[in-house]
Chains A and B, each alone.
Chain A
Amino acid sequence: GALVYQYPRRTICKSGTSMRMECQAVGFQATSVAWYRQSPQKTFELIALSTVNSAIKYEQNFTQEKFPISHPNLSFSSMTVLNAYLEDRGLYLCGARTGGARAETLYFGSGTRLTVL
């Protein structure tokens, strides 16, 4: 079956420092990877959608300068939170899906919970 591994599960960083999280697809080819942040209020914000061989599309309020994403192949993606501050805390989720017109189901990793001190 399709599995997505995301690590680390939890991370604590000091205000102003950076942290990187990684996402690995197992059992399928991750043509597209979407990164989300779940706020303490539980709502999900889409950060960006990365599709292999296409430009990464960032949503409003999120920039490549702050959340650089790498998607070098069909099984791996990473995202860094640069200069993390309190407002960046939350659960970050990667969701991956394979290509094809009907292959729309996103499979999610376990999430990386970011705490900023």
Chain B
Amino acid sequence: GEKVEQHESTLSVREGDSAVINCTYTDTASSYFPWYKQEAGKSLHFVIDIRSNVDRKQSQRLTVLLDKKAKRFSLHITATQPEDSAIYFCAAHQGGRALIFGTGTTVSVSP
């Protein structure tokens, strides 16, 4: 089955800098790659996603890149703010199946 590896377990950035989180997956049939954010003591909140028919998607300060050849995708956060501090999870799946999550990256944005 699908396995998702999330490479950075922690990421500390200064406010205003950029943050990048990288994930790799194993199943070439995976076609959907969402990102979720979990704030302390809270549940998962959907952030952004990308489908395999594109290699880039941007939403305000967030950009997701997908490299299907390398089976790699990444989340780029620009102009980070303290409220971006959270655990970010990448995930992957094929249509009709459940999401498989990465292990999470704790992002800390300091003033």
Binding site for B on A (CB under 8 A): 6, 32, 34, 36, 42-44, 46, 49, 51, 57, 93, 95, 101-102, 104-111
Q: Tell whether, in the assembled complex, residue A109 and residue B100 are in contact, meaning their CB atoms are under 8 Å apart.
A: no
The A-contacting residues of B in range 20-34, CB under 8 angstroms, are 32, 34
A-B pairs with beta carbons under 8 Å apart, 29 shown: A6-B43, A32-B98, A34-B98, A42-B87, A42-B104, A43-B104, A44-B101, A46-B100, A49-B97, A49-B98, A51-B96, A93-B43, A93-B44, A95-B44, A95-B98, A95-B99, A101-B95, A104-B49, A104-B93, A105-B49, A106-B34, A106-B46, A106-B99, A108-B43, A108-B44, A108-B46, A109-B43, A110-B42, A111-B43
Q: Tell whether, in the assembled complex, residue B99 and residue A34 are in contact, meaning their CB atoms are under 8 Å apart.
A: yes
B81 within 8 A of A: no
Grouping DSSP codes into helix (H, G, I), strand (E, B) and loop, the B interface class, with mixed when no group exceeds half, is: strand
B103 within 8 A of A: yes
Cβ–Cβ < 8 Å partners of A108 in chain B = 36, 43-46
Contact indicator per residue, chain B 65-104, by CB within 8 Å of chain A (1) or not (0): 0000000000000000000000101000101111111011
Q: How far, in Å, is A79 (CB) from chain B's closest CB?
A: 14
A107 to chain B: closest residue by CB: B46
Q: How far, in Å, is B34 (CB) from chain A's closest CB?
A: 6
Closest 5 A/B residue pairs (Cβ): A49-B98, A44-B101, A34-B98, A108-B44, A104-B32
Cβ–Cβ < 8 Å partners of B93 in chain A = 104
A108 to chain B: closest residue by CB: B44
Q: Tell whether, in the assembled complex, residue A43 and residue B103 are in contact, meaning their CB atoms are under 8 Å apart.
A: yes
- Bound CA–CA A49/B98 (angstroms): 6
- Bound CA–CA A106/B100 (angstroms): 11
Cβ–Cβ < 8 Å partners of B100 in chain A = 46
- Bound CA–CA A108/B46 (angstroms): 8
- Bound CA–CA A109/B100 (angstroms): 17
- Bound CA–CA A49/B1 (angstroms): 14
Q: How far, in Å, is B98 (CB) from chain A's closest CB?
A: 4
Q: How far, in Å, is A9 (CB) from chain B's closest CB?
A: 10
Q: How far, in Å, is A107 (CB) from chain B's closest CB?
A: 7
Q: Which residue from B43, B45, B89, B95 sits with its C-beta under 8 Å from A104? A: B95
